[in-house]
Structure 1
């Protein structure tokens, strides 16, 4: 590769466009993570897990389905669910349609914190994503992103289920400290667990123990 070719690639249109997309995504996420953490104290990918669960019928889903949607390894997601269950945010139960499968369901506390997170999250996103654009520009952006999503999914059809985490915690990069929903923005630190403890106490839930019976 000659010097001219190299210099040209530095300013390649695709490289520049991806850089812009990543920068805007990062800046929007920084504010969103701060909003959610301040309102709820949710850590790491907890908000994202609760949000995806809430979109399933009955606010419950098979654990393997949810892991695929989150691009977790199966072992990593099991450990993550363990921590969320200890925090009283969700609970596990046998799947009535398949005794070999396990379902996860949002608890009352998880639903309460999800609602609080969304109440802070949605207005912040409106200010960062929607208000700067006209209604027409918003629709164009939706169409463009949908098209890019379809094209790239066709190019990499197994990306959701074959994204191996590069760390032993099983978290994909989008949910690691400093990058995922619930992290303190830009610091790579997790919010204090005191907010969870406080919410648990206000809801009359013990600080420890299984949430299954109280929050079915």
Structure 2
């Protein structure tokens, strides 16, 4: 076995990392239970969030496209409204509840880029695990069959756009309503959102 780190250490470190991320991902939203407040310029979809420099100039409209099937396909596991009930069988209906997440921008960027080893959450940085940018680990640190899942590659600026969309449009929001569903599905709202009218 030519792993850089003993496997026992990897398993313990991996379990601790996943546990701490899982707790953080399902914790109440930061700042007293409310999501970050974005300032939208009158003529643009670019944002500036007070105290969150990682997202300065992010494009939330493009971030929504990254969240949808056109980009990272996050809705497949997390659901269109971030409630963790997407249709992807890999997620087993247990994806992170983005509405309840307490992650900050850096946390979202890291998890979207690096995934969460040992879980179905894939990584989206095309260079992840080729060097030690993700949790200080490289692909050779994992046993065969235990490597993190690779998702569709997303450029770094689009990971920022995606994070901005999640933090301004999903995180800290109450349960989705018919109006939320209609805004998401637009032309197909009548069919897609029928469950909200019961």
**Which TM bucket (shorter chain)?**
under 0.3
Which structure is higher in helix share? 1
TM-score for the superposition, normalised by structure 1? 0.26
Relative contact order: is structure 1 or structure 2 higher (C-alpha 8 Å, sep ≥ 6)?
1
TM-score (norm 2): 0.27
Larger Rg: 1
